[in-house]
Amino acid sequence: MTREQTQSRWRMTVLSNYLAVLLGVILPLLAKATGSPWGWIVVFVVLVVTISITFRKAFKSTGLWTLTHAKPSTLDERELEQTHAALGVSYRWMLVVMIATMYLLILARQGSLGQWLGWVDSIASVLAMAFLYVAHTLPAAIIGWNQLPPANDATNDAAVAR
């Protein structure tokens, strides 16, 4: 497998992970709309399993989770530079998204938009958990997206050497 194929496969794993998180945020809306949460509970369990598997493949097995959560004193200069840049980009993105979401929640409570945005209350707690998850994984995703994540198995090591 070539370097580009390995990176493409890793990117698809990360996108699958974040798509599962997004669907997990939307599920309470669907459960509320249908009135019966039991079918959605099964789907939610499948999404949690999907998030767990893709998290392990994208972040844990590549070492990116460890890299972005390591103490600065244990990192060399290159790793410090990478994590600092990734943290800066990810926190800027998270700030924009979270402020936009806060304004949406405020406008939904004001009454004028409440009739169109009444659904916001049913996803607020799930949305907070999703934000926490994305805040922790986004720096690793940014590092991996811009360069090939390190591989831990011999197959990927041989592919990178080519």
Q: Give domain status of residue 67, yes or no.
A: no
56-59, long-range: CB < 8 A, 24+ apart: 57/13, 58/10, 58/13, 58/14, 58/17, 58/140, 58/141, 58/144, 58/149, 59/137, 59/140, 59/141
| 99 neighbors 58 (Cβ within 8 angstroms) | no
Q: Give domain status of residue 48, yes or no.
A: yes
Q: Give domain status of residue 88, yes or no.
A: yes
> Which amino acid does the sequence have at 10?
W
Q: What percent of the chain has pLDDT over 90?
A: 47
Q: Which residues of 85-98 are buried (b: 16+ CB within 10 A; e: fewer)?
A: ebeeebeeeeeeee
pLDDT digits (tens, 9 = 90+) for 2-40: 878 888 899 999 999 999 999 888 887 777 777 777 777
The reported pLDDT for the residue numbered 117 is 57
Q: Give domain status of residue 150, yes or no.
A: yes
Q: Give domain status of residue 134, yes or no.
A: yes
Q: Give domain status of residue 70, yes or no.
A: no
Tokens 């949305």 locate to 127
Q: Please tell me the distance from the alpha carbon of residue 95 to that of residue 89, in angstroms, as a whole number.
A: 10
Q: How many domains does the chain have?
A: 1
Q: Give domain status of residue 72, yes or no.
A: no
> Which amino acid does the sequence have at 79?
E
Q: Give domain status of residue 69, yes or no.
A: no
The boundaries of the domain holding residue 120 are: 3-62+77-161
> If you average pLDDT over residues 30-53, what whole number do you get?
82
The reported pLDDT for the residue numbered 161 is 40
